[in-house]
Structure 1
């Protein structure tokens, strides 16, 4: 007796229960074989299963003349299945890889259309997974990259789900023939100048001719690597918990880590923890550029080194490493008058100031450092501001945007710093709230 083999609809249903309560399901619908089968499967299941409302999204890249007819085809298919369709036109940015640029434009559109708690379903299958593993292996990817495509991940306000990753292309083709589906054949899919097409049409056929189970084996290897990456992520979270010690400046809304806690780790664990920490902040460096971390870590204690990354900089100061997004320097250096000190003062691109207690009388203004400032410190007389800031340990990258309170030509206070932020009698204290991460600091 032959073992029971679940049908394609049954296999798909097994992947869907965790997502049944989503407010909406969107199907990424190119009109090709894979997405046509997925759309047909879901539209058919919706007739007998209580699924969330279905809709389809077709992204038109405008890269080839043949694509101009595809929205009409997609609309006809969706109308026949009674599924609403949204057609989105995107602008693909020129670059070295048109494949990557088109993919980025497509997923940016998907993210914008995936609302809170909603689900976007895409039709990548097991053959795509094997192809992705080979492609990334040839590019020298690490464990995370070789884990290939995850079955699910956050997207926009909701999630992306790939419910067909355990399904072969042959199974999708058989389903399409059985149900007499019509789909688009993209001419660019036969162009072997594209790396993925070369793998699909030339490399994988050779592999499967020699090893018939090659596609399934490669996809299984991707699963093992994805599992290994999950363990590395767990280790990273453990290491980062030890390194996430509060700094002496809790009011500074920048991600930071204790350098000493990182330095007790092996170099491999340092890189693993930093990759995990930096992933939501910036595009990660390739292997050749990790020497920048060694330079930052090993610099002399009195140095203030930095490591430039794609979307910002990593600084070392006061025993911590700090992440500064590229937007950190985007603020106005112009002075501001403060005619009503009883109300908070908004600083262009630099948060706001406010007083606790009774503000000082007289005309007040805010300036930024120019160098050579002197301040009268209770019990210490006149002191250079530079020396006072050095004593405080305030990171150097903050000092240029530190708002200074003046009354006429007299420097009255430096916010947030003990001994410098209040008057001698304790009538008032100056507080600075720098821009939060939501305002572009990370």
Structure 2
């Protein structure tokens, strides 16, 4: 019969037994040392995916320089290959957060399609996370604390020890005479989590011995509640995810009217769900920006600035523009070989469909006051035509225009509802795709 900790671990990991590989995030500390030892021992009697350990070296303190060698010796003794990854931690207001971001970026580079990253965080970590986020005024999603599993790169991140206490892990380590690293920074109360761990939790558990277990259980309840909110958001977004009138425009967008039919709370819930893969979400005080955008006059074209981009309203639709999407070169470009597609710097690709017009062609951008000949309608003001088409204002400045000398021959046919030529050719534009911030 397997020991309790091994049996619980094997049961937790059962759904991922057919993964191509299991990577263990191995800091060398107590938690990851126990996890690595448990899995290495289970691999002797169970058919498990290929095991490997990953040590991320942040280089933030001199003591850490010796840790890769310690981790290598532990892995060598257990017969588990180790990958050491050195990262640069960006300077910022929160060193903890910057180190975490660098660490998870490294993990993302390791985990392949369908593979699993295993992290040794435990029940005490979960309780600390809940209390820390509660003190920061987090919502339900934040108070759900650390999920047992989530997507990571093309695979999965798992925390299989999340229902085990630190005391259980230490008892296992002592029973098996394991050695581990004690990070000196873990004793520094200037870090918020350390303050909670060393100053707050001892007082809580003195009065309420089950405080850690109860807080961790509360996090599970909140995680379930967040799951229900996600289901509600999915239902509400189905009505708003109507096809865009400009399917060629590679930007996420929603119809506004279905959102406005919801209560304010449901609007915020749906938008949080929609925006979460696109940007860091605003805190409660900044949701006034959504109300201003939503309630603006129809022709106002307002925007709401967020951490990683802007939310624009154009008519009865909202559009997400990731940071940098609007940056492009508006310099004129000569089209020497119009029979071939033309790459526009930072602005996608332009191509002529049909017979190529004669003469020297050039691509320019709007300056204002442009006039274009429209078959059957005569000479028309380009601005008025764009207004008729409903093309969002944030696109108009980067709309490529085809000139022959000083004559405006065409605007891309996809941008409007009018015909652009009687001569059997059309100008087609495929705008720049910006991977950052696209679903």
Which bin holds the TM-score, normalised by the shorter protein?
over 0.9
TM-score by length of 1: 0.96
For residues 420 and 59 of structure 1, what CA distance do their matches in structure 2 show? Answer: 57
Matched, 1:413 2:374: no
Asked whether the equivalents of residues 421 and 431 of structure 1 are also in contact (C-alpha less than 8 Å), the reply is no
Equivalent position of 1:286 in the other structure: 283
Match of 1:299 among 296, 299, 314: 296
Residue 329 of structure 1 and its aligned partner are, at CA, apart by 1.7
Equivalent position of 2:251 in the other structure: 254
Equivalent position of 1:112 in the other structure: 109
- Can you list the C-alpha shifts for 1:287-317, whole angstroms capped at 9, x where unaligned? 1111100110011111010001111100000
Residue 118 of structure 1 and its aligned partner are, at CA, apart by 1.3
For residues 249 and 349 of structure 1, what CA distance do their matches in structure 2 show? Answer: 20
Deviates more, 1:337-346 or 1:222-231: 337-346
Equivalent position of 1:423 in the other structure: 421
Residue 86 of structure 1 and its aligned partner are, at CA, apart by 1.1
Residue 441 of structure 1 and its aligned partner are, at CA, apart by 6.1
Residue 141 of structure 1 and its aligned partner are, at CA, apart by 0.4
| SS of equivalent residue, structure 1 residue 224 | helix
Match of 1:238 among 213, 235, 244: 235
Residue 437 of structure 1 and its aligned partner are, at CA, apart by 4.2
Matched, 1:172 2:169: yes
Asked whether the equivalents of residues 327 and 440 of structure 1 are also in contact (C-alpha less than 8 Å), the reply is no
- Can you list the C-alpha shifts for 1:305-339, whole angstroms capped at 9, x where unaligned? 00011111000002100001112122111112222
Aligned length in residues:
438
Residue 116 of structure 1 and its aligned partner are, at CA, apart by 1.6
| SS of equivalent residue, structure 2 residue 372 | strand
The gaps in structure 1 that reach 5 residues or longer are none
The verdict on how the C-alpha distance between 1:297 and 1:440 changes in structure 2, with shifts beyond 3 A counting, is closer
Match of 2:270 among 265, 268, 273: 273
For residues 94 and 299 of structure 2, what CA distance do their matches in structure 1 show? Answer: 43
For residues 240 and 437 of structure 2, what CA distance do their matches in structure 1 show? Answer: 24
Residue 6 of structure 1 and its aligned partner are, at CA, apart by 6.2
The verdict on how the C-alpha distance between 1:237 and 1:108 changes in structure 2, with shifts beyond 3 A counting, is same
Residue 96 of structure 1 and its aligned partner are, at CA, apart by 1.8
Asked whether the equivalents of residues 278 and 438 of structure 2 are also in contact (C-alpha less than 8 Å), the reply is no
Matched, 1:195 2:192: yes
Equivalent position of 1:181 in the other structure: 178
For residues 376 and 97 of structure 2, what CA distance do their matches in structure 1 show? Answer: 63
| SS of equivalent residue, structure 2 residue 80 | coil
| SS of equivalent residue, structure 1 residue 330 | coil
Residue 424 of structure 1 and its aligned partner are, at CA, apart by 2.3
Deviates more, 1:32-41 or 1:413-422: 413-422
Asked whether the equivalents of residues 28 and 121 of structure 1 are also in contact (C-alpha less than 8 Å), the reply is yes
Residue 157 of structure 1 and its aligned partner are, at CA, apart by 2.2
Residue 63 of structure 1 and its aligned partner are, at CA, apart by 1.4
Residue 200 of structure 1 and its aligned partner are, at CA, apart by 0.7
The verdict on how the C-alpha distance between 1:127 and 1:313 changes in structure 2, with shifts beyond 3 A counting, is same
For residues 260 and 406 of structure 1, what CA distance do their matches in structure 2 show? Answer: 39
| SS of equivalent residue, structure 2 residue 435 | helix
For residues 345 and 333 of structure 2, what CA distance do their matches in structure 1 show? Answer: 9
The verdict on how the C-alpha distance between 1:102 and 1:355 changes in structure 2, with shifts beyond 3 A counting, is same
Matched, 1:340 2:342: no
For residues 407 and 282 of structure 2, what CA distance do their matches in structure 1 show? Answer: 46
Equivalences for 1:221-236 in 2 at 5 Å?
A: 221-236=218-233
Equivalent position of 1:218 in the other structure: 215
Residue 376 of structure 1 and its aligned partner are, at CA, apart by 1.4
- Can you list the C-alpha shifts for 1:45-66, whole angstroms capped at 9, x where unaligned? 1111111111111111111111
Match of 2:310 among 307, 310, 313: 313
For residues 419 and 221 of structure 1, what CA distance do their matches in structure 2 show? Answer: 55
For residues 11 and 21 of structure 1, what CA distance do their matches in structure 2 show? Answer: 18
- Can you list the C-alpha shifts for 1:26-81, whole angstroms capped at 9, x where unaligned? 11111111100000000101111111111111111111111111111111111100
The verdict on how the C-alpha distance between 1:63 and 1:142 changes in structure 2, with shifts beyond 3 A counting, is same
Asked whether the equivalents of residues 154 and 160 of structure 1 are also in contact (C-alpha less than 8 Å), the reply is yes
For residues 298 and 330 of structure 2, what CA distance do their matches in structure 1 show? Answer: 30
The verdict on how the C-alpha distance between 1:130 and 1:358 changes in structure 2, with shifts beyond 3 A counting, is same
TM-score by length of 2: 0.97
Match of 2:83 among 83, 86, 103: 86
Equivalent position of 2:28 in the other structure: 31
For residues 168 and 343 of structure 2, what CA distance do their matches in structure 1 show? Answer: 61
The verdict on how the C-alpha distance between 1:78 and 1:57 changes in structure 2, with shifts beyond 3 A counting, is same
Matched, 1:69 2:69: no
Deviates more, 1:64-73 or 1:163-172: 64-73
Residue 202 of structure 1 and its aligned partner are, at CA, apart by 1.4
The gaps in structure 2 that reach 5 residues or longer are none
Deviates more, 1:84-93 or 1:429-438: 429-438
For residues 213 and 261 of structure 1, what CA distance do their matches in structure 2 show? Answer: 46
